[in-house]
């Protein structure tokens, strides 16, 4: 009997890669793509598949490393989220010209919504920009099934291919058969060809011509043509219907295709309204566009996030979509939204209104998180400062009034430098600027920014919030961990040594749980920055392991005793407003706060936070 499993979309992608003979996969963690590499690591451990796996230091490095494996004739993959593609843009754009030998699959998970991203970036649009074919699966099973064919496409045309699952594909679950993994070891063979692999501008022009020729052929590749999903809808085209089939046609791609199929079935319109799935939105077949425009009087394009297909069907009089206003110009196309769009397009009565969504809870740092204590100390030492921050759990320092800007990975230090220059040039050097950045983000993109700040004569403190892991995306190891993705021991890269190597003379390390001691470190950093003769940049490392990661490795241990709220508490709310620990419960003004036993981690920081000393540590014999 064939073994079957219910696989998460990202798990299915990992299975597909190993089934297709991928010999190297690289990644930088980022939701919704993180589980791809995590699953590959587990599968390699259990099945001994000969595949090099790594959490790379950033997406650019991930692409460049995997690309070399493809240059040597072996199948490779690099996985990331959509904003990570911006970091990898340089090698991706160039790889379109050089092409590949072994199949190269760039897996970029998009986040329509966006649920956990800075932007609703559409990788299909990026694929057009880079001139690379992009595949848009609707279901986890499709994402998996298409991988082997995508490698064939990549190798046949010697071009990188992008697979673009969205959040709903990455995080949906589907039942599917378990297959054997490819264990063949393809020996690397790198054929020297400097005119291609190290081309100068003159050769690049020729490579661009070749790329355009490839795209023309790929757009006509029979395997990736748009597919009519309901042939019955066209067979009944000549019969009189309330909705004339050829009057209105649907063109879909990605997860929204799956929604549209279900809705057509629910409305009993499956055999009356033709619906096409476009597996490869770019390059889209010119023949398909021409035939569609000739056959249909109205074409509704349903796609996330940007009008990639809609833009390639050029007759604006017939096409309905985001540009025409028939589809919202932003946001995820959830099933209820798609149904209303379809009803309007097909002249049906509107659906019954949905009940209003339940009120959400504001996201906050975990109870006992060391970042909260660090932010509290920063605000005490640098009141009214400008707080430039970065991407990660610590973005939630927004709630504490300790984060003013968040742009993209590594930007906190660069932006702090910009603020520093602006105020210094205006003669306002006394205005304090503070940068906060996580340990993983510092390795990812903070190092060049710190070097730049040092060499441009900046004077502000950088607080590296070091919890020992890449927490927000699932606790992947950082370069400081001293282990690879599969746990193999390797040299660790010290944050302290790295900061000093960037040219920072004042580097200190402290535990933010020790609020008083940590504030002294911040004061020393502040004094160093202000020292007109010997001062400069300062780095303070706030080192406190992530509680979730710590408990995962150390197991559950008895929690420290929880603090006690005494009768001195008058319900001033200071601890809630400036510390916002979710374990503290506010009952109203002039009423004492209480502590949630289930949430409290026993860190005891609230004892130091309370200005009235109304929260105390339990006695040793309590």
Q: Which part of the chain has CATH 3.30.70.20? A: 558-621
Q: Which residue has the higher pLDDT, 359 or 383?
A: 383
Query: What is this structure's pTM?
Result: 0.87
366 annotated ligand-binding residue: no
Annotated ligand binding at 575? The verdict is yes
Tens-digit pLDDT profile for residues 116-152: 888 899 999 999 999 999 999 999 999 999 999 999 9
CA 56, CA 246: separation in Å to the nearest integer?
A: 50
Q: Which CATH architecture has domain 558-621?
A: 2-Layer Sandwich (3.30)
> What pLDDT is recorded for position 381?
97
Give me the pLDDT at residue 290, please: 92
Nearest-angstrom CA–CA distance, 218 and 233: 28
Is 572 annotated as contributing to ligand binding? Answer: yes
Q: Per the annotation, does 606 bind a ligand? A: yes
Q: Tokens 């299909």 map to which residue? A: 124
HEC string for 475-492: CECCCCCCECCCCCECCC
Query: Does pLDDT of 471 surpass 90?
Result: no
Residue 603, marked binder: yes
Token pair of 34 as six digits:
């993180």
Fold exhibited by the domain 370-554? Rossmann fold (3.40.50)
Query: What does the DSSP 8-state code read for residue 394?
Result: G
- 571 has a pLDDT exceeding 90: no
Block residue for tokens 């264990």: 183
pLDDT in tens, 286-338: 999 999 998 889 999 999 999 999 999 988 889 999 999 999 999 999 999 99
Is 22 labelled a binding residue? no
Q: What is the tens place of the pLDDT at every residue in 532-543?
A: 899 999 999 999
Query: Where in 390-537 does DSSP place strands (E)?
Result: 405-406, 433-438, 461-466, 506-510
pLDDT over threshold 80, residue 505: yes
Residue with tokens 């470190």: 521
User: Distance between CA 146 and CA 279 in Å, rounded?
Assistant: 9
More confident of the two residues 115 and 377: 377
Of 82-86, 141-145, 524-528, 582-586, the poorest mean pLDDT is in: 582-586
581 annotated to a ligand binding site: yes
Domain spanning 227-346: CATH 3.40.50.300: no
Residues of the chain with CATH 3.40.50.920: 227-346
Residues of the chain with CATH 3.40.50.970: 4-219, 370-554
C-beta separation of 262 from 303 below 8 A: no
Chain Cα centroid distance, residue 378: 28
**pLDDT-derived band at 552, boundaries 50, 70, 90:** low
Judged against a pLDDT cut of 60, whether residue 372 lies above it is answered with yes
pLDDT score of 257: 96
**In terms of CATH, what superfamily is 4-219?**
Thiamin diphosphate (ThDP)-binding fold, Pyr/PP domains (3.40.50.970)
Whether residue 231 contacts residue 272, with contact meaning beta carbons closer than 8 Å, is answered with no
Cα–Cα distance between 525 and 510 in angstroms, integer?
A: 12
pLDDT for 242: 47
């Amino acid at each position: 009997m064939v073994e079957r499993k219910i696989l998460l979309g990202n798990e299915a992608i990992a299975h597909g890669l190993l089934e297709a003979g991928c010999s190297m996969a690289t990644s930088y963690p980022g939701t919704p793509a993180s589980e791809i590499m995590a699953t590959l690591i587990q599968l390699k451990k259990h099945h001994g598949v000969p595949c090099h796996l790594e959490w790379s230091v950033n997406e650019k490095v991930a692409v460049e490393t995997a690309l070399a494996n493809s240059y040597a004739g072996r199948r490779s993959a690099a996985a990331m989220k959509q904003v990570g593609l911006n970091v990898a843009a340089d090698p991706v754009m160039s790889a379109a010209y050089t092409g590949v030998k072994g199949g190269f699959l760039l897996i970029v998970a998009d986040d329509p919504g966006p649920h956990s991203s800075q932007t609703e970036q559409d990788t299909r649009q990026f694929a057009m920009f880079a001139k690379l074919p992009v595949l848009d699966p609707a279901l986890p099973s499709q994402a998996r099934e298409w991988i082997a064919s995508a490698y064939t496409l990549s190798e046949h045309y010697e071009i990188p291919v992008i697979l673009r699952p969205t959040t709903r594909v990455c995080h949906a679950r589907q039942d599917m058969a378990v297959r054997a993994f490819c264990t063949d070891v393809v020996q690397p063979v790198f054929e020297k060809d400097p005119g291609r692999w190290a081309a100068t501008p003159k050769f690049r022009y020729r490579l661009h011509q070749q790329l355009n020729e490839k795209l023309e052929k790929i757009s006509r590749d029979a395997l990736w043509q748009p597919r009519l999903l309901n042939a019955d809808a066209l067979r009944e085209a000549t019969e009189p219907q309330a909705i004339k089939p050829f009057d209105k046609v649907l063109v879909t791609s990605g997860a929204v295709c799956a929604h549209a199929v279900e809705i057509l079935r629910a409305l009993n319109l499956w055999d009356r309204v033709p619906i096409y799935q476009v597996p490869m939105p770019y390059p889209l077949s010119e023949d398909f566009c021409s035939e569609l425009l000739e056959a249909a009087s109205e074409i509704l394009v349903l796609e996330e996030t940007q009008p990639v297909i809609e833009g390639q069907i050029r007759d604006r009089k017939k096409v309905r979509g985001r540009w025409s206003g028939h589809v919202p110009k932003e946001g995820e196309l959830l099933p209820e939204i798609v149904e209303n769009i379809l009803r309007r397009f097909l002249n049906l009565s509107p659906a019954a209104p949905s009940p209003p969504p339940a009120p959400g809870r504001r996201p906050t740092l975990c109870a006992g998180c060391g970042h909260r204590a660090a932010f509290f100390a920063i605000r005490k030492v640098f009141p009214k400062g400008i707080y430039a921050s970065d991407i990660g759990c610590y973005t939630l320092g927004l709630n504490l009034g300790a984060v003013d800007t968040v742009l993209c990975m590594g930007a906190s230090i660069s932006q702090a430098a910009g603020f520093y220059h602006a105020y210094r040039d205006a003669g306002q050097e006394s205005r304090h600027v503070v940068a906060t950045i996580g340990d993983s983000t510092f390795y990812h993109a903070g190092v060049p920014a710190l070097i730049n700040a040092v060499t441009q004569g900046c004077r502000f403190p950088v607080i590296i919030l070091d919890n020992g892991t890449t927490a927000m995306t699932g606790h992947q190891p950082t370069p400081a961990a001293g282990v690879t993705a599969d746990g193999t021991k390797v040299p660790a890269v010290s944050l302290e040594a790295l900061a000093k190597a960037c040219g920072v003379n004042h580097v200190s390390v402290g535990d933010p749980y020790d609020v008083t001691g940590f504030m002294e470190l911040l004061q020393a950093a502040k004094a160093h920055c202000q020292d007109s003769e010997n001062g400069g940049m300062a780095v303070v490392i706030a080192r406190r392991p992530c509680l979730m990661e710590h408990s995962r490795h150390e197991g559950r241990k008895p929690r420290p005793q929880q603090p006690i709220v005494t009768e001195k508490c008058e319900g001033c709310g200071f601890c809630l407003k400036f510390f916002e620990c979710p374990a503290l419960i506010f009952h109203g003004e002039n009423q004492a706060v209480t502590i949630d036993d289930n949430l409290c981690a026993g860190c005891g920081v609230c004892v130091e936070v309370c200005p009235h000393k109304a929260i105390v540590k339990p006695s040793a014999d309590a």
